[in-house]
Structure 1
Amino acid sequence: MSDNPMQTANGSATAADCDNEAKKKSRIRLEDMTSQDFYTDMFAYYGTHEEKLKDRAQIVAFRTAMYNNKQLFKNKVVLDVGCGTGILSMFAIKAGAARVIAIDNSNILELTKKVFEDNEMSLHIDLIQGEIEEIELGVEKVDIIISEWFSYNLFHLSILDKVLYARDKWLKPHGLIFPDIGRLYITAIEAFNSKAFKINWWNKVYDFDMSCVRKAVIKEPSISIVYANHLVTNSCLIKEVDLYKIQKTDLEFASKFQLKVQRNDYVHAFVTYFDIEFSKCFSPIKFSTSPWTDDTHWKQCVFYLDDFITVKEDEEITGIFEMKYLQTKKTALYFGIKVDFEGEISQIHEINSYNMD
């Protein structure tokens, strides 16, 4: 018999064995990773996790939801989807969970394992690296799923599809998901200075015509901080996701919106932001990424118009906001914003297209 575990009885390696061996080789120790590894595995980059952990609005909401509802976590089996550095898993143990199964496909888990050891939680937390569709948990069902499943503009680079997979495969009937509600809103802003700096700057660069670059740049939404004093209209809910009910096919949508102008001004861009809710707590807990609240690392998502709209107080801007996934990349998103406006000073009827890789 061959000493090579990759070989079968007749000396040939199976496809499954080769695939498993390749996966083992692809999992690099953190201390051995280079900038090229971080480029291909952004969630192994320390800065990504630092930014999230320093976002107090989000982290405190998770902690409060678990610590203030220990009756829901006591002696329960909890699944942490996309565990990262493991902060949510440790919150769950502190809240009384008997066992946490923490899963992630990033090489950051080499460090997460040490974090659990240093906090004397290794005996209570099982750490699994791999794609969620390919792993086994070692249990048939779990009582609770916890996850930071949302991301920029609620959906971009989110792992919502992973959580829905985990829900359908492992969550017990009447099991809980923390958090379980996400709401995406749209509003409109005056943004003359930021548009000049980010978009119109490309019209003339050191006396050279680079307007072709402007045409490309304006089709990419900007993740930026938007201040409340720039808001020209109210906001409108365009999508709500309830993780107990939503299916993956529901993630593509087209929603009508209606915005009421609150002052005489100009509109240079539309802005989206989202709220997150833990609705199954004894007293529901929420946090928001809106311009009216403290800044979060999610900021807001800005969709610049090619031109601008001149609006007067009490006029209305109507339209349709569309989102779908691009076939070329499973995380890339297409957005379409159809705008209809008939004002006293200006009118606009157009469809603006954006891509978010």
Structure 2
Amino acid sequence: MLDSVLYARDRYLADDGLVFPDRCSISLAAVGDTQKHNDRIAFWEDVYGFKMTCMKKAVIPEAVVEVLKPETVISESTVIKTIDCGSVSVSELEFSVDFILKITASSFCTAIVGYFDIFFHKSCGNKVMFSTAPNCTKTHWKQTVFLLESPVAVKAGEDLPGHISVRKNRKDPRALLITLNIAGHKQTYSLQ
């Protein structure tokens, strides 16, 4: 949805004008919530005695927007993209980047969570920011959870490398296609 803000910025902003928020960062963290994974993914293995694993193909690619319990986060967060709202171009909103998540608790990584922070800093005497991180005050933006098909065993202190690609869904300009590669498992998610 940032496209419309950038269109207005490029068309109407005075030469010395400012855009607020002026900066945004997008972060990821690992999630270890085996109960949620069982309820949403493993559930399809045995639905009242019926094997319905084919449903996983429909459920897994749907990114889930919800408020995540902070205690389920099992890694440090890592910033994957910083956006300068005053100068970013629409084409720069599509990106691909490697990342590393530093694991803080031995568990099973069952999902990756994404969230954003926004900043009102440029030319501000009173700098302000807010975060949509799981451990911060809840917002209506919540967090975006990317459930993994198979949980990945992780140990505290180790690094969990990954790769993320974010691009627009050409069929729906307000939707994104996000491809995550974690521990050799690649999955594309739809975010609408």
The normalised TM-score by structure 1 is 0.52
Q: Report the counterpart of residue 167 of structure 1 in structure 2.
A: 9
The Cα shift of 1:316 comes to: 0.5
| Residue 188, structure 1, aligned to residue 23, structure 2 | no
| Residue 352, structure 1, aligned to residue 177, structure 2 | no
Alignment of 1:247-258 (within 5 A): 247-258=89-100
The Cα shift of 1:312 comes to: 1.3
Aligned pair partner of 1:307 in 119, 125, 150: 150
In structure 1, C-alpha distance between the alignment counterparts of 2:41 and 2:141, rounded to whole Å:
21
Q: Report the counterpart of residue 320 of structure 1 in structure 2.
A: 163
The Cα shift of 1:269 comes to: 0.6
In structure 2, C-alpha distance between the alignment counterparts of 1:192 and 1:220, rounded to whole Å:
18
Question: Which stretches of structure 1, 4 residues or longer, exceed 4 Å deviation after superposition?
Answer: none
Q: Name the larger-Rg structure.
A: 1
Q: Report the counterpart of residue 138 of structure 2 in structure 1.
A: 295
Aligned pair partner of 1:275 in 117, 124, 134: 117
The Cα shift of 1:294 comes to: 1.4
Amino acid at match of 2:169: L
Amino acid at match of 2:137: D
Which consecutive residues of structure 1, in runs of 5 or more, have no partner in the other structure? 1-157, 340-347
In structure 1, C-alpha distance between the alignment counterparts of 2:66 and 2:46, rounded to whole Å:
23
Q: Report the counterpart of residue 333 of structure 1 in structure 2.
A: 176
Deviations 1:299-349 (A, max 9, x none): 11111111111111111011111100111111121111112xxxxxxxx32
Which consecutive residues of structure 2, in runs of 5 or more, have no partner in the other structure? none
Q: Report the counterpart of residue 69 of structure 2 in structure 1.
A: 227
Aligned residues: 191
In structure 2, C-alpha distance between the alignment counterparts of 1:209 and 1:167, rounded to whole Å:
52
Amino acid at match of 2:163: I
Percent identity, aligned pairs only, is: 34
More helix by share: 1
Deviations 1:85-142 (A, max 9, x none): xxxxxxxxxxxxxxxxxxxxxxxxxxxxxxxxxxxxxxxxxxxxxxxxxxxxxxxxxx
In structure 2, C-alpha distance between the alignment counterparts of 1:216 and 1:349, rounded to whole Å:
21
The normalised TM-score by structure 2 is 0.94
Once superposed, what is the RMSD of the aligned Cα atoms? 1.3
Q: Report the counterpart of residue 42 of structure 2 in structure 1.
A: 200
The Cα shift of 1:283 comes to: 2.0
SS at match of 1:239: strand
In structure 2, C-alpha distance between the alignment counterparts of 1:264 and 1:167, rounded to whole Å:
46
SS at match of 1:168: helix
Q: Report the counterpart of residue 216 of structure 1 in structure 2.
A: 58
Amino acid at match of 2:190: N
Amino acid at match of 1:286: M
In structure 2, C-alpha distance between the alignment counterparts of 1:185 and 1:319, rounded to whole Å:
13
